[in-house]
A and B are shown apart, each in its own frame.
Chain A
């Protein structure tokens, strides 16, 4: 169990120097574009673009290897499940049927199904670098400032800041409690029965939760004493003011989003790119 969620290593390049607000905005615009569109060409373009930005931001492969592994497992499972549950969903969407080969009556592999599932794989793949860029190139102290600057209530933003601040403390508490309970003979491994394991876990949760509730008390008193929440607005120490490069980055993302929307409305006349019936 790592005590840090992710490693933030400061660098000096275009992506790192952008304001956190810009990066959050671009991340949201591009992920929603990819989420909405089912056109493999648009998604492929965003995929290439996002990998290029990943390259520009000089993120090391070792920083994202674990994530990549998780995503590939997830995509593989989703691919198999989709085919098992709805092998003819592609045919339904595209209104055509080009059979490649037949496994059984129900599980016929069609070009339509493969296009649908292939597009889906691309969709998942293209979103990952976007999230990673935002996460790994933004100073964690700037997250709350970015959230509040795109219109999230500052109280909710402050909760996010507290989450990031106290996560390492929670991990440490959890490890301390788990180790001391195991030293007393509590088994948390696979060898124990399911019900028994749940019960053993409760022996960790109870001290963990109770110490957290005490912590809530202490922190909220400290914040109240400093007058937190008195005014409607607040400023952020970590906020990076917007500059020319932020304008450029946001403009690029908006152009991509509009282009994708135009293709959806005027070329495809729907969310799906249909090369089969034309």
Chain B
């Protein structure tokens, strides 16, 4: 049985490697949408994949560390409200972890639906509630600006998590063989 908040050696290593991937994609692999400063961040797709595979704590730390490091390297200092919101979004996606059996090769249409419901919920909470509220509390940014930015971020991150995350989970499940799949001849 998978426990929601376990933190094994494997989780720690997956967090470290996942955060390195997240940083790399966050800094260099974006898909521009034509609107300035609102690229589709492919990093969230990977973050959601790792969160669904290794649980909420790994998800939170991957997005938090990855976002904080890439912010620090690019801008000199992390933008805390969005770094926290990043962490929250992948934490919430990670809550789907006990419901999935991807490493046993199972990822059917029902699982696709469950994963995407969690993912969309996570993005709405993280980017339309957490990020703007923290922006207002910590940085005193004007409300209508941050809620607009948050809504745009929620949309594109949901696209990234939906497309990239779902495809990766599906493809990974295909490479795994489940329990009791050996047939007696």
Contacts and interface: CB of A to CB of B under 8 A. Distances in A.
Interface string B38-54: 00101001100100000
Contacts of B40: 198
Given A31-B77, A67-B76, A161-B16, A209 B168 contact: yes
A5 interface: yes
Interface of B: 7-10, 12-21, 23-24, 28-29, 31-33, 36-37, 40, 42, 45-46, 49, 61, 65-66, 69, 72-78, 80, 138-145, 148, 163-164, 167-168, 171-172, 175
B21 A212 contact: yes
Interface in A179-195: 190, 194
Contact of A5 (B15, B73, B164, B175): B73
A212 B16 contact: no
A18 interface: no
A219 B14 CA distance: 9
A135 interface: yes
A31 B77 CA distance: 9
Given A71-B75, A212-B21, A160 B16 contact: yes
B16 A129 contact: no
A263 B169 CA distance: 53
B108 to A, nearest CB: 20
Contacts of B9: 220, 223-224, 228-229
B20 A163 contact: yes
B171 A206 contact: yes
A252 interface: no
Contacts, number: 164
A163 B16 contact: yes
A130 B80 CA distance: 14
Contact of A128 (B12, B24, B76, B138): B76
User: What secondary structure prevails in chain A residues at the interface with B?
Assistant: helix
A9 B57 CA distance: 34
Given A35-B138, A163-B20, A167-B23, A82 B145 contact: yes
A213 B13 CA distance: 10
A209 B36 CA distance: 29
Interface stretch (A96-104, A151-159, A233-241): A151-159
By size class, the interface of chain A is: 35 or more
Contacts of B66: 163
Contacts of B19: 159-160, 162-163
Contact of A156 (B10, B61, B78): B61
B147 to A, nearest CB: 10
Nearest to A169: B20
A202 B61 CA distance: 24
Given A163-B23, A223-B9, A128 B77 contact: yes
B133 to A, nearest CB: 15
A47 to B, nearest CB: 13
A77 interface: yes
Given A216-B17, A271-B140, 16 more contacts: A1-B28, A5-B23, A31-B77, A70-B74, A71-B76, A86-B144, A128-B77, A129-B76, A132-B77, A169-B20, A201-B42, A201-B164, A215-B17, A219-B17, A220-B12, A224-B9
Given A202-B167, A206-B171, A158 B16 contact: yes
Contacts of A51: none
A36 B164 CA distance: 37
A67 B65 contact: no
Nearest to A68: B76
A198 B163 contact: yes
Nearest to A125: B76
